Amino acid sequence: MVCETKDKLEKMTESKTALITGITGQDGSYLSELLLEKGYEVHGIIRRTSTFNTDRIDHIYVDPHQEEARLFLHYGDLTDGTTLRRLLEAVKPIEIYNLGAQSHVRVSFDSPEYTVDTVAMGTLRLLEAIRDYQHRTGIQVRFYQAGSSEMFGKVQEIPQKETTPFYPRSPYACAKVYAHWQTVNYRESYDLFACNGILFNHESPRRGETFVTRKITRAISRILAGQQKFLYMGNLDAKRDWGYAKDYIEAMWLMLQQDQPEDYVVATGETHSVREFLELAFSYVNLNWEDYVRFDERYLRPAEVELLIGDPAKTKEKLGWQPSVNFEELVQLMVDADLEALGLTPPATKNGKLIQDNAYIRQNVGSMSY
C-alpha cells in the first residue's frame, strides 16, 4: 500500500466507534484486537450463557470503570431486533461488523430454523435498524457482512470469484445467500455503505473445536498427551481453500475504508483436501495419520460442498491485501498452539519458528463434536 493511502487511512480511524456482532467468536476476537490497535472504541454484542463465553477476548478486556477502557460488551442477540435498535442508539457506531452466526454447516442441518433466524433474519434485523438509525440521525454507517464461500456450494466455476453464481448446499449457506443479497439490496436502495466479504475458510488456534482443522490439531495434542486414542472423521475428500484468520480480518477492515462499498472474495487461491491436512498435521509430529483416524458417518453432511478454491485477484488489487501465512505454516502453527496448550513441546520451539498467538485455548470442552 502506498504511503499516502496509509496516512489517509490512519487519519480516518481517529476516534472511531465500531460495533461487532459475534465478538466472542474466532473472527470477532481478532477483529477486536485489530480495531483497538488502530485506536477505535470497540463495542461487542454478547449472548447471555450459563457458562462464560468470552474466553477469546478476556485478554483484551479492561474493566469499564477504568479510564483506559475502550472495549465494551453488551448483552444482545441477532434474534432480538429491539435490542439491536437500542444498542445502535446507545453506541452510535460508525462501522458495524456483522460476524454473529450459527456458523457450523453440519449443525445447520440439525437446527435449520434457528440457523436461518440468526444468519438471514438476524442480518435483515440489523440492516433495518441501521437504515432507520441512519435516516433519523444523518450519520453514515459503514456495514460489513460476513459472507461465506459456502454460498458457492456446488461447483459452477473454478476458481470462484465475486461474479460466480451461488449454489448453496446447506441451511447455513442458503441463509448466507439471503444475507448477501439483502446487503446488496440495502446498498442499492438506501445508499448504505455496505460490503459483503465472501471469505473462504480461515483458521487459527482460536478456531472453534468442532471445525475440521482444529478438530484435527486438537486431537493430535490429545493423542500425544495420552488423552485420546482415535480421531473420528467424515468426508476426507472435501477440498477447501484454507487461510489464516488474522490475515482475513485485515481484509474486512480494509473493505470499510474504501471510497465505494463493494463485495470482495478473500482467499488464498490454493485448495487442499481434508486428507492432505491430516497427512501434514500428523507427519509434523512424526505420526502416521492412518494409525489414528477412523470413519464415522455422523460427520457426513446430507449435501456436501466438494471443492472450494477462491480467486482473490480483486481483493489483492483494490485493497492491497495479501495472505501472510501459507497452508503448511497454518497447519504447523495450529498444531504448535494445541501442543503448547497441553504443556507439550511444539516442534516449532525446537527450530525457533513458534508463532505466538495469545489465545486462550480451551481444552476441556465436551465430547459432542462435529
List of residues contacting ligand NDP (CB under 6 A): 21-28, 45, 47, 49, 53, 77-79, 99-103, 118, 146, 148, 199, 201-202, 208
Binding of ligand GDR by 205 (CB under 6 A): no
Residue number with CB closer to ligand NDP (281 or 348): 281
Provide the sign of the torsion angle of the four alpha carbons 73, 79, 82, 84, taken in this order: positive
Q: Which stretch binds ligand GDR (CB under 6 A): 13-21, 72-80, 142-150, 181-189?
A: 142-150
Task: Reply yes or no on whether 148 is catalytic.
Answer: yes
Minimal distance, residue 10 CB to ligand NDP, in Å: 26
Handedness of CA 199, 203, 209, 213 (dihedral sign): positive
The stretch near ligand GDR (CB under 6 A) out of 65-73, 91-99, 146-154, 339-347 is: 146-154
Is 172 catalytic? The answer is: yes
Tell me how far apart the alpha carbons of residues 314 and 16 are, in angstroms, rounded to a whole number. 27
Do residues 22 and 101 touch, judged by C-beta distance below 8 A? yes
Q: Which residue is nearest to ligand NDP (CB)?
A: 25
CA distance 170 to 315: 26
Pick one of ligand NDP, ligand GDR, none as the site partner of residue 234 (Cβ within 5 to 8 A by kind).
ligand GDR
* Residue tagged active-site, from 40, 97, 172, 178: 172
Query: Distance from first CA to last CA of the chain, Å, rounded?
Result: 40
Q: Cα–Cα distance between 283 and 36 in angstroms, integer?
A: 38
Whether the CB-CB separation of 131 and 85 falls below 8 Å is answered with no
Residues between 71 and 110 with contacts to ligand GDR, criterion CB under 6 A: 103, 105-106
Residue with smaller CB distance to ligand GDR, 25 or 346: 25
301 interacts with ligand GDR by CB under 6 A: yes
- Minimum Å gap between C-beta 249 and ligand NDP is 9
150 has catalytic annotation: yes
Options 18, 141, 177, 233; binder of ligand GDR; rule CB under 6 A: 233
**Distance of closest approach, residue 234 Cβ to ligand GDR, in angstroms:** 3
User: Is residue 202 within 8 Å of residue 248, measured between CB atoms?
Assistant: yes
Catalytic hit among 33, 41, 150, 340: 150
- Between CA 189 and CA 199, with CA 195 as vertex, the angle to 5 degrees is 140
Q: Which of 247, 245, 216, 248 is nearest to 335 (CA)?
A: 216
Q: Which of 204, 197, 108 minimizes the C-alpha distance to 149?
A: 197
**DSSP secondary structure, 115-150, as one string:** HHIIIIIHHHHHHHHHHHHHHHH-PPPEEEEEEEGG
247 touches ligand GDR by CB under 6 A:
no
Range 164-203, binding ligand GDR (CB under 6 A): 200-201
What residues are annotated to the active site?
148, 150, 172
In the complex, which residues of this chain contact ligand GDR (CB under 6 A)? 103, 105-106, 148-150, 200-201, 210-212, 215, 233-235, 238, 240, 274, 299, 301, 304, 370
